[in-house]
Structure 1
Amino acid sequence: MPDATLLPIVPRDDLWLFFESFLMRWEGSNTQASYRQDLMIFTQWCEQYGLHPIADIKRTHLELYMRYLKDDRKNAPSTISHRIGTLSQMYELAIDDELIAKNPARLVRRPKAHVDQGRRVALTREETQRLVRAAYDSSPTDHALIVLMAYLGLRVSEACELDIADCLHVAKAHRCLRFVGKGDKLALIPQPPAVMRAIDAAIAGRTEGPLLLRRDGSRMTRRSADRVVKRCAKAVGITGNISPHVLRHGFIVGSIDAGVPIRQVQLSARHSDITTTIKIYDRGRANLDTHSAHALAAWLGSVA
């Protein structure tokens, strides 16, 4: 371990050069934007107390910072944990660059985000069908957007960034979507007939450009996609916190309910780790009809 007294200190004016070198690992992604915001909030907090965000920070400072996030910014436990995680990754890079001797975030006790087992993480099959119908009645673009997320599990950013050329790739006798997804990973997704028809209707004879267009002819954005989902949901009486990501949840939960093996669901959802599929989606289903309590109660019998 290097001697802490001999470690260089990044001048305050050069801090963001170091931060940007850290953020380059997620260039152009939503993750990069989220991490940049985390670093900005932390840097502003450090300035209030005259602390250098790298050289001066100890574990106790980060624990005080978590209290600030909780009490002053009213951040949820999951947000606090995420922001400390960003700092931990940044400090690991600082260690590698020999700017600090150890990671002050390593032993910080982050708050746990508890999963509400009763919270709905996806639409039901019947609700999804109603939503798709409402999108079909709205416009070919709205229909294609909903189908891409609900039937193929695309993230909203992935759907909005698709070009026409990305939708016409043929592999192993399947027409597929071929694009670069989260984590700069190449995705190849087959198009079932219902999806193919929706995409062709959205293309409408065009040969190039974005697949999904707004009314002014520009590429659809995440915000406009969110409005489409909410408008179509409202049109068929679907209430609650409905967002584009609920449709991706529905793709995963529906695949599990349809009997697809969990390993195949993981691959189809493009999760790097199967525990993500199990922990977030399978557990979040909270299928009370198949709870083991029913089987055990029947096995034990009743005294009354």
Structure 2
Amino acid sequence: MAQQLPELRSRLHAQLPALLGEAGEEAGRRVIEFFTAEIRNVNTRKAYGRAVTQFFNWAKANGLTLHTIEPVHVAAYVEQDDRAPATVKQHLSAISRLFDWLVTGQVVARNPAAPVRPPKLVVDEGKTPILTAAETRELLDSIVDVAGQDDEGGDPVAAGSNNSIAVSSGDVAKLRDRAIIGVMVYTFARVSAVARLNVSDYYRAGHRWKLHLQEKGGKRRDLPVHHKAGEYLGTYLKAAGICEEKGAPLFQSLKGRTGQLTGRRLDPANILHMVKRRARDAGFDPDQVCCHTFRGTGITTYLENGGQLETAQHIAGHASATTTKLYDRRSQNVQQEEIERIRI
């Protein structure tokens, strides 16, 4: 990590908006510190980078400098931004946090974004499309057509010391992909947490199997594994032959069509590409299926079957039940028969 920081600083310096580059060496240094020391999450860093770049490019186009930006200018920028309120709110937050950092470093005297109010955001439900339980089962069943591969207990070491089973090269990819989607559905896990899993993170605790998840913000959770997810994981691990490679990534890329794992971790972008490809192959609109779909699908299905919102909150790792509620789409489940009552 220490070796990567100089490279990251150099890359960020080259990407500084012209307005910040013109503000002097100390301003540039402080901005780079903000993105390396203050913003630790990679996804947040990218989102905030886009936000401040767009703002400072707008400011320069309007004849402003870092030291002449006033609250009225920030308000004008927010006012002309016609994107979704959630996006505008995030951009304003990024601008304000950066200015706070510059104030602390005595680069500017005050934060011009602090007095600016974000657009009102009223959200009752999330926008991520979800699948029904039946559709999710259809998708999972469409991936693997290998008879007799499932292991009821999810125990990856039950097959013997070599921990592998005979499957064709394409089957390893299918079993891996089904296991990935199964983990997202049955644990409500974010794709970033699934991508970070190592083989050792799937472990036996007494008579149960658990997954050790590392979520955003450094949160760590240990969750019991649903028996179906256990079947998918156990079958995949045995087929891949990596049961004893505890320090290896759980979900790895493959060498072409050989079915051999590379040892390299699938990243969230790889997983998203896979999800859309599997959705398309199963006859679904890939634009309506993403990794977050399975988080919402799992939560909604859990609640439909009598689960408690507070428990769903705990499984999902949400700080607030209000956030969990956004994933509950039970109110969207209007049956076709009800629509057909509109007899015109």
- Structure 1 position 97, deviation (Å): 4.4
Task: For residue 27 of structure 1, give the secondary structure of its aligned residue in structure 2.
Answer: coil
How many Å separate the matches in 2 of 1:171 and 1:12? 57
Q: Is the 8 A contact 1:117 1:285 kept in 2?
A: no
Task: For residue 210 of structure 2, give the secondary structure of its aligned residue in structure 1.
Answer: strand
- The amino acid that maps onto 2:331 is A
Give unmatched runs, 5+ long, in structure 1.
1-9, 291-304
- Structure 1 position 154, deviation (Å): 1.4
Q: Does 2:38 match 1:25?
A: yes
CA RMSD of aligned residues (A): 2.8
Q: Is the 8 A contact 1:117 1:286 kept in 2?
A: no
**Residue 96 to residue 286, structure 1, CA distance change in 2 (3 Å):** farther
Give unmatched runs, 5+ long, in structure 2.
1-21, 146-170, 256-261, 336-344
Q: Which residue of 2 aligns with 1:93?
A: 101
- The amino acid that maps onto 1:213 is Q
How many Å separate the matches in 1 of 2:112 and 2:302? 42
Q: Does 2:189 match 1:142?
A: no
1:254 to 301, 304, 317: 301
**Residue 256 to residue 98, structure 1, CA distance change in 2 (3 Å):** farther
More helix by share: 1
How many Å separate the matches in 2 of 1:98 and 1:16? 13
TM-score, scaled relative to structure 2? 0.70
Residues 223-232 or 180-189, more deviating: 223-232
Q: Which residue of 1 aligns with 2:56?
A: 43
- Structure 1 position 183, deviation (Å): 0.5
- The amino acid that maps onto 2:236 is A
Query: CA deviation digits over 1:133-154, x for unaligned, max 9?
Result: 1233461111111101111111
Q: Which residue of 1 aligns with 2:26?
A: 14
Q: Does 2:274 match 1:274?
A: no
1:82 to 66, 77, 90: 90
- Structure 1 position 160, deviation (Å): 1.7
Query: CA deviation digits over 1:215-257, x for unaligned, max 9?
Result: 2223222222122212222223223521111111112222222
Q: Does 2:187 match 1:175?
A: no
**Residue 131 to residue 113, structure 1, CA distance change in 2 (3 Å):** farther
- Structure 1 position 184, deviation (Å): 0.9
Alignment map for 1:134-283 (pairs within 5 Å): 134-137=142-145, 139-168=174-203, 170-171=204-205, 173-203=207-237, 204-206=240-242, 207-208=244-245, 209-216=248-255, 217=262, 218-239=264-285, 240-278=287-325, 280-282=326-328
Q: Does 2:146 match 1:110?
A: no
- Structure 1 position 32, deviation (Å): 1.9
Q: Which residue of 2 aligns with 1:60?
A: 72
Q: Which residue of 2 aligns with 1:286?
A: 331
How many Å separate the matches in 1 of 2:129 and 2:324? 13
**Residue 264 to residue 95, structure 1, CA distance change in 2 (3 Å):** farther
How many Å separate the matches in 2 of 1:120 and 1:98? 41
Q: Percent identity?
A: 26
How many Å separate the matches in 2 of 1:167 and 1:26? 30
Q: Is the 8 A contact 2:191 2:292 kept in 1?
A: yes
**Residue 118 to residue 47, structure 1, CA distance change in 2 (3 Å):** closer
Q: Is the 8 A contact 2:128 2:293 kept in 1?
A: no
Give the length in aligned residue pairs. Answer: 273
